[in-house]
Amino acid sequence: MPEHAWALVILGLLAGMLSGMFGIGGGVIIVPALTVLLGFELQVAIGTSLAVLIWPVSFFAVLAYYRARLLNVAPAALIAIGLVGGGVVGAQIALNLPGATLQRVYGIFLIYTGWRFIEPRKLWAARRASGPRPAPNPNTGAPPEVPWYVLLGVGLGAGVASGLFGIGGGLVIVPALIALLRFDQKRAVGTSLGALLPPVGIGAVLSYYEADEIDLAASVFVALGLIFGAFLGARIALGLPSATVKRLYGAFLIAVSLRFIFQV
């Protein structure tokens, strides 16, 4: 049994909740927590996070979105294909970067991610807006037809980010589906989780394993917590608005990013 086994399970539970709520895979909390709280080297934390995410830990969350008719299977499959190749490319880049450089690049990535979660422009616009809010459009949940090569490109870009930073890729997939392809928020989350369900990161995991940059025992305990957390997060997201949690998490990421960038 690895040291801090219960801490690893709790970490997986929290990462799973965020995964189910936002379709992000969970790696964006696993990697900072392993490095900041448990003292892992950054490359080992990234490899361990990817080892967690190759298992179908979000199966029950995906099932919840599918039953709610908020998962588009065909786009998810095309994105998954792109994820496989992109993950290997990202892993090779990360393994060949100096540790200090990777640490600062990851810190900048977290600032961007935190900004995306907080969405300060939308928050400011909402505070300034007056009058009643417009009624929701019932047709916004039906995304338009998207060319297959665009979906493959989204998957490829998400795969590179996954292999480079140890994330599932949802931090790229969800914003792309919403901003570029006009998916509804919950449908984008469900489709992202569906794309991440197969072992799309296996190539990246093998790259880290061959470089001896994975703690397999730790990954098992994190995965145990992630299974239940993802389902719980999906239930929360489907039943409640999650804007406040999303912005608090964005602030947490920005705080962690400063440690990565300025740590000596």
Distance CA 32, CA 177 (A): 26
| Range(s) of the domain holding residue 168 | 5-126+142-262
Look at residue 237 and tell me if it is in a domain: yes
Question: What is the structure's pLDDT at 171?
Answer: 79
pTM of the model: 0.79
CB atoms within 10 A of CB 97: 17
Look at residue 132 and tell me if it is in a domain: no
Question: What is the structure's pLDDT at 264?
Answer: 43
Look at residue 40 and tell me if it is in a domain: yes
> Which residue numbers in the chain have pLDDT < 50?
134-140, 264
pLDDT in tens, 123-161: 777 777 755 554 444 444 555 577 889 999 999 999 998
Question: What is the structure's pLDDT at 130?
Answer: 56
Question: What is the structure's pLDDT at 140?
Answer: 47
Question: What is the structure's pLDDT at 131?
Answer: 53
Distance CA 231, CA 219 (A): 19
DSSP 8-state class, residue 142:
S
If we measure between CA atoms, which residue out of 53, 34, 54 comes closest to residue 44? Answer: 34
Look at residue 245 and tell me if it is in a domain: yes
Look at residue 135 and tell me if it is in a domain: no
Q: What angle do CA 58, 40, 195 make, to 5 degrees?
A: 20
Distance CA 122, CA 13 (A): 29
Q: Are 13 and 229 in contact (CB under 8 A)?
A: yes
Helix (H, G, I), strand (E, B) or coil at 36: helix
Look at residue 131 and tell me if it is in a domain: no
b/e burial code for range 175-207 (CB count within 10 A of at least 16 → b): ebbbeebebbbbbbbbbbbbbbbbebbebbbbb
Question: What is the structure's pLDDT at 122?
Answer: 76
Backbone angles phi, psi at 137, to 5 degrees: -85, 120
Question: What is the structure's pLDDT at 244?
Answer: 73
Tokens 């602030």 appear where?
251
Domain count, the chain: 1
Look at residue 134 and tell me if it is in a domain: no
Helix (H, G, I), strand (E, B) or coil at 96: coil
- 56 contacts: CB under 8 Å, gap ≥ 6: 197, 198, 199
Look at residue 133 and tell me if it is in a domain: no
